[in-house]
Amino acid sequence: ITAGNGQQGAREELLESGMADMLVVSADQRSRLLRTTERQNQTTDRIRDSHRTMLETEELGVSIMHDLHQQRQSLLHANDTLHDVDDNIGKSRKIMGAMVRRMDRNKWIIGLLIALLVLAILVVLYFKFVH
C-alpha cells in the first residue's frame, strides 16, 4: 500500500510537473504566437503603406506623362509654325530678290534716259550754235 501510495505520489508529481511544463510551453507558444501575429500585422501595415506609395507614384507618373504629352503637342505645334515661318521667309527672299533686280534694271533705264537726254541737249545745242 505504501508502495502504491509512493507510486501514486510520484505519479501525481509527474503529472503536476507535466502540467506545469505544458503551462510553460503553452505560455511560451502563446507569446511566440503573439509576437508572430504582431510581426504579421506590422508586415501587413508595411504592405499597405507600400501599396499606397505605389498608387501615389503611379498617379504622379500618369500626371507627368500627361504633362509631357501636352509639352510634346506644344513643341509639334511650334515646329509646324516654324516651318510655316521658314516657308514665308523663303518666299519673302524671292520677292526681295526680284525687287532688287527690278531696282537695278530701273537704275540702268534711268541712267540710259539721262544719257539720251544729255545727248539730245548736246545735239540741239550743236545745231543751234553751229548753224
pLDDT digits (tens, 9 = 90+) for 94-104: 999 999 999 99
Q: What angle do CA 35, 38, 43 make, to 5 degrees?
A: 125
Whether this prediction's pTM lies above 0.75 is answered by no
> What count of Cα atoms within 13 Å lies in the side-chain half-sphere of residue 116?
6
- What proportion of the chain, given as a percentage, has pLDDT over 70? 80
Q: Quote the CA–CA distance of 91 and 80 in Å, as a whole number.
A: 17
Q: Residue 70 corresponds to which cell in the numbers above?
A: 501636352
- The string of pLDDT tens digits covering residues 102-112 is 999 999 999 99
